[in-house]
Amino acid sequence: MQTVHTVAELRQQLATWRAAGECIAFAPTMGNLHAGHIDLIHAGLTQASRVVASVFVNPLQFGPKEDFGRYPRTLPDDAAKLEAAGCDLLFAPSVEAMYPHALPLTTQVQVSQVSEGLEGAFRPGHFEGVATVVNVLFNLVRPDVALFGEKDWQQLAVITRMVRDLHLPIEVVGVPTRRESSGLAMSSRNQYLGDAERTTAAVIYATLMTIAHELQQGSRDFRGLEQAGMQALQAHGFEPQYVAIRSPDLQSPANENNSLVVLAAALLGKTRLIDNLRVAL
């Protein structure tokens, strides 16, 4: 695997592959890779002849009080994991290489509606930062296929909508969430958790499972189920931000939906955790 840090090197390598008619899959990440990220690479290998990953902690998607400064940066480890997984090329630019002109950028990508509510309500500006950096990365890599984890369900919905609205010739593929044996969704931010918190954190998944079970048993009291979920999280010491039942494209749920998604976000101590569960009805 080759690692490149500049746009020129990235373009040079990709041009060679494109000239040879290769199909390119792309997995954008912020690094500190875990098994969930490696699943993106494996999924890419099934869809394309070359897999490109990026590791870039994107300042545009962090709020002023968020963890941009302390977000774990583990590039040598990440590169080793990507190489072992069969990734062909790692793009790991500096902030200056990605955004050579002064920040904030004068151009921003806003994907309205689907960015609003849920994460959008608690992290103002977050999805503009995500949509902007993903658009920049898509312009640089020009992948045929792009892979995103389903753990960030709303992010996946935002990117899918952006690709549709901007006619980007990219197939966006969602990759299922990887979980610890406790059910805790794997996340780079899990390493902020202490041992006791890590055990408690699995309650989020248990809460989503309880709601999924109620829905599958025929309950359509969406509001009541959401409130019960909030209370269950509170009872275990979380500060829940939302427990929400939505259609897969994040519309309000309706009795006739044959598939729903239950989403939650909660603070456990200082760590903010999100998770979701798709429910077939």
Of 129, 126, 40, give the one whose Cα is nearest residue 86: 40
Q: Which is nearer to ligand PAF, 3 or 155 (CB)?
A: 155
The reply to whether 133 sits near ligand PAF by the rule CB under 6 A is: yes
The reply to whether 162 sits near ligand PAF by the rule CB under 6 A is: no
The reply to whether 28 sits near ligand PAF by the rule CB under 6 A is: yes
Q: Where are the beta strands (DSSP E) in 211-270?
A: 239-246, 259-268
- The least CB distance from residue 222 to ligand PAF, in Å, is 27
Task: Specify the stretch interacting with ligand PAF by CB under 6 A; choose among 10-18, 90-98, 127-135, 238-246.
Answer: 127-135
Q: Which is nearer to ligand PAF, 148 or 205 (CB)?
A: 148
Provide the CA 241 distance to its chain's centre, in angstroms.
18
CA distance 39 to 86: 11
- The least CB distance from residue 240 to ligand PAF, in Å, is 22
- 180: which residues sit within 8 A by CB, 6+ positions away? 186, 202
Sign of CA dihedral 130, 273, 122, 223: positive
What residue type is assigned to position 33 of the chain?
L
Q: Which is nearer to ligand PAF, 30 or 277 (CB)?
A: 30
Which positions from 246 to 275 touch ligand PAF by CB under 6 A, shown as an x/- string? ------------------------------
Question: Is 5 labeled as catalytic in the residue annotation?
Answer: no
The reply to whether 30 sits near ligand PAF by the rule CB under 6 A is: yes
Tell me the three state secondary structure of residue 146.
Answer: strand
Chosen residue from 3, 29, 200, 207 binding ligand PAF by CB under 6 A:
29
Task: Specify the stretch interacting with ligand PAF by CB under 6 A; choose among 25-33, 111-119, 167-175, 242-250.
Answer: 25-33
The reply to whether 128 sits near ligand PAF by the rule CB under 6 A is: no
Secondary-structure percent of the chain, ordered helix, strand, coil, rounded to 5: 40, 20, 40
The reply to whether 229 sits near ligand PAF by the rule CB under 6 A is: no
Q: What is the strand order of the sheet 171-175 is part of?
A: 2-4, 89-91, 50-55, 24-29, 145-149, 171-175
The residues annotated as belonging to the active site are 37
Query: What does the binding site for ligand PAF look like in residue numbers (CB under 6 A)?
Result: 28-30, 58, 61, 130, 133-134, 152, 155
